[in-house]
Amino acid sequence: MRVLVAEDHGRVAEAIARGLRRDGIAVDIAEDGEAALYKARVHPYDVVVLDRDLPKLHGDEVCRTLNAEQPETKILMLTAASSLDEMVDGLALGADDYLTKPFRFAELAARVAALGRRSGRVRPTVLEHGDITLDPARHEATRRGEPLDLSPKEFGVLQELMAADGQVVTAEQLLERVWDENVDPFTNTVRMVLVTLRRKLGDPAVIETVRGAGYRM
């Protein structure tokens, strides 16, 4: 899953991003409304965590525009206002959920995960491929019932390959879905993660390299 955090308070944005990344989520940060809208038009985010009171372009306008242009992207609106009228206004603009500040990170993470499961095309709650099972909500993967000790990136790559249901996934698509905007697009990081992921999955091998195209299970 890939998330955009649009928050003008740098420490708050970094804290949210750091926590979500620990859960294996790729996170980008925008410090104002114009940057948030630009990044959302460039990258296919599953969820946008959107502070309502953003500089340059107000969060309400960002929300309204994203809802019109990318209805499949889910929006979690953050605000310091806790009144019912403010909440109703935010949801009326197209936000999918609403969280008032201050908030507990665990609650934000749970809401982001729930919105992520609703974004884009519907995916099974638990993914299965042969004797491999992956539960995104619990962040658990097993093979033959034995837990797999995967890094966040290995887990993300495995999730994308399993969700593709046999279709080829390109290295560019994996970079787009599993890594954030700071990754070097010319790096061999995808290949290196696949090397360690294949080793951890063991035999028989289940990830096929399709020459000149990408990877599939």
77-127 tens-digit pLDDT: 998 766 556 666 667 788 899 898 889 999 999 999 888 877 655 555 789
Q: What angle (nearest 5°) sits at the alpha carbon of residue 22, between those of residues 194 and 4?
A: 90
**Who has greater pLDDT, 4 or 102?**
4
Residue-range domains of the chain with CATH: 2-118 (3.40.50.2300), 127-216 (1.10.10.10)
Burial of 117 per CB tally in 10 Å (0-12, 13-18, 19+): middle
Q: Is residue 48 scored above 80 in pLDDT?
A: yes
Q: Per-residue confidence at 188, pLDDT binned at 50, 70, 90?
A: confident
Q: Tell me: the pLDDT tens digits for 14-44?
A: 999 999 988 778 899 999 999 999 999 988 8
CA distance 208 to 166: 10
Neighbouring C-beta atoms of residue 38, cutoff 10 Å: 13
Burial of 3 per CB tally in 10 Å (0-12, 13-18, 19+): buried
**End-to-end Cα spacing for the chain:** 19
Bond prior to 124 in cis (omega within 30° of 0)? no
What pLDDT, on the 0 to 100 scale, is given for residue 186?
66
* Strand duo 74-79 + 47-51: pairing: parallel
